[in-house]
């Protein structure tokens, strides 16, 4: 078994890991490809999996238990498909502590139009596509309205840390999107 830092790797596996920043309140992932798994792992090899859906997926990290646990644990995320990676969306002016990523094929660059559309959606982020359309109505070309009207899939991974005796669940208000941020 080889190691990348302190994270165990399977033989012949190239792992493109991304640290979850301790200041994170929300993680948003743009995905132009098919649905795929994302793994969340910490230094003690506790992990959980969730899906990154085609379109937009978000993880709200506003629960007190998650924030507390994240402040003392290094947590990483990576995609389960080896030919893809998570890339941080630079210059995404948004609310403080919202972190944006997109799924990219290894070795391929993102088209500039896609990057610009992701930045525009990120700059005034809402999980709700309806709220996004309402806010950005005059700035969106007609051929992109469907893309902007899509609601984000709310990731709800349960992270088990048996050493600490915790089963951490992010904010997942079933009847609405996270009220804390809307």
What are the domain boundaries of the chain? 15-168
- Tell me which H or E stretch contains 95: none
As a 3-state breakdown, the chain gives helix, strand, coil percent values, each rounded to 5, of 20, 30, 50
pLDDT, position 15: 59
DSSP count for the chain of H helices, then E strands: 4, 13
| More confident call, 172 vs 64 | 64
Assign 52 to helix, strand or coil. Answer: strand
Q: What is the distance between the terminal CA atoms of the chain, rounded to a whole angstrom?
A: 45
| Spatial CA neighbour of 75 closest among 90, 54, 59 | 59
Residue range 116-130: average pLDDT?
88
Query: What is the predicted pLDDT for the residue at 181?
Result: 41
Q: DSSP secondary structure string, 21-44? A: PTT-SEEEEEESSS-EEEEEEETT
Going by C-alpha positions, the residue among 133, 92, 99 that lies closest to residue 116 is 92
pLDDT per residue over 32-80, tens digit each? 999 999 998 877 766 788 999 999 999 888 777 778 878 888 889 999 8
Lowest mean pLDDT among 32-46, 113-127, 154-168: 154-168
Mark out the alpha helices in the chain (DSSP H runs): 64-72, 112-123, 129-136, 145-148
Q: pTM for the full model?
A: 0.82
pLDDT, residue 45, reads: 67
More confident: 170 or 2: 170
With cut-offs at 50, 70 and 90, classify the pLDDT of residue 10: very low
- Kindly give, in sequence order, each residue whose CB lies less than 8 Å from that of residue 12, ignoring residues fewer than 6 positions away: none
């Amino acid at each position: 078994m080889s190691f990348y830092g302190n994270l165990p790797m399977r033989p012949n596996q190239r792992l493109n890991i991304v640290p979850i920043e301790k200041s994170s309140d929300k993680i948003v992932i743009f995905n132009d490809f098919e649905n795929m798994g994302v793994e969340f792992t910490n230094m003690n090899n506790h992990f959980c999996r969730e899906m990154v859906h085609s379109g937009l997926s978000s993880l709200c990290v506003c629960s007190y238990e998650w924030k507390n646990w994240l402040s003392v644990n290094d947590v990483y995320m990576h995609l389960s498909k080896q030919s893809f990676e998570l890339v941080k969306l630079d210059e995404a002016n948004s609310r403080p502590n919202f972190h944006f990523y997109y799924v990219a094929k290894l070795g391929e660059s993102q088209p500039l139009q896609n990057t610009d559309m992701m930045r525009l959606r990120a700059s005034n982020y809402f999980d709700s596509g309806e709220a996004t359309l309402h806010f950005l109505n005059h700035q969106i070309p007609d051929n992109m309205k469907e893309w902007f009207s899509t609601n984000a899939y709310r990731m709800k991974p349960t992270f088990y840390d048996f050493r600490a005796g915790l089963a951490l669940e992010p904010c997942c208000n079933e009847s609405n999107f996270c009220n804390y941020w809307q």
